[in-house]
Amino acid sequence: MSTSRVVAIDGPSGSGKSSTSRAVAARLGLAYLDTGAMYRAMTWALLQAKVDVTDAEAVATAAHTVTLASGTDPASPTIYVDGQDVSVPIRGEEVTAAVSPVATVPAVRHLLVARQRDIIAGSDGIVVEGRDIGSVVVPDAAVKIYLVADPGARAVRRAAETGATDASATERSLVRRDQIDSTRATSPLLKATGAVQIDSTHLSLDDVVQAIVDIAHASLEAAR
């Protein structure tokens, strides 16, 4: 598939990436890939195998033994580890606390980026969300969006998703993960060259989705 039908959506946690990306995919009739879920599923598998996730060498070795499968229907995305549906446990606190260090390990990124490129190549057009999609995974995507929001607004959204009652603790956890994700040596979170930045702090989900659909229509039209 040509990258003229790829929409890359990057940004920090809680910026509204997942709801936005799924809705954009549904509106454009494209597939949807949540790459964060892949890093989370890898982390879940390593925790299950009792791998010390702070030991980069142990993580790199064990990562090669994990088989992930991602379903790309925006109406019901799925993620499996060795045939087991892990969509619920990968959202738990244990995985959330361990995923950033796992995502800093270059061997893990190498494996997952290769897998993501295979899925993208096998699709007939796809919205891909993550941290390094426009910068590393598909730098020549037709549409690149960098979605941001104030930490306070992101924490309120994330707490509503997870049912957490203490939004300030959620904000501290988000800011800590942002710090690790933005400063890691391999593929840090950053606005990719050519990406359009959208600040969702004061926008509704519908407004953000519409803005991206408009940008995508213009690019997909231009690519015809």
Contact yes or no for 32/22 (Cβ under 8 A): yes
Choosing from 21, 35, 170, 200, the residue that interacts with ligand DC (CB under 6 A) is 35
Q: What angle do CA 149, 152, 155 make, to 5 degrees?
A: 90
What's the min distance (Å) between Cβ of 99 and ligand DC?
4
Q: Is 98 in the site for ligand DC (CB under 6 A)?
A: no
Counting residues that bind ligand DC (by CB under 6 A) gives: 13
Window of 54-62, 68-76, 126-134, 148-156 that interacts with ligand DC by CB under 6 A: 126-134
Rounded Cα distance, 71 and 53, in Å:
26
Window of 24-32, 130-138, 146-154, 210-218 that interacts with ligand DC by CB under 6 A: 130-138
Cβ-based nearer residue to ligand DC, 110 or 217? 110
Long-range CB contacts for residues 180-186, cutoff 8 Å, separation at least 24: 180/100, 180/101, 180/104, 181/12, 181/100, 181/103, 181/131, 182/12, 184/103, 184/104, 185/104, 185/106, 186/104, 186/106, 186/109
Q: Is 36 in the site for ligand DC (CB under 6 A)?
A: yes
Rounded Cα distance, 62 and 56, in Å:
10
Name residues contacting ligand DC, limited to 161-190 (CB under 6 A).
177, 181
Q: Is 42 in the site for ligand DC (CB under 6 A)?
A: no
What's the min distance (Å) between Cβ of 103 and ligand DC?
4
Rounded Cα distance, 212 and 152, in Å:
23
Which stretches of the chain bind ligand DC, using CB under 6 A? 13, 35-36, 39-40, 99-100, 103, 130-132, 177, 181
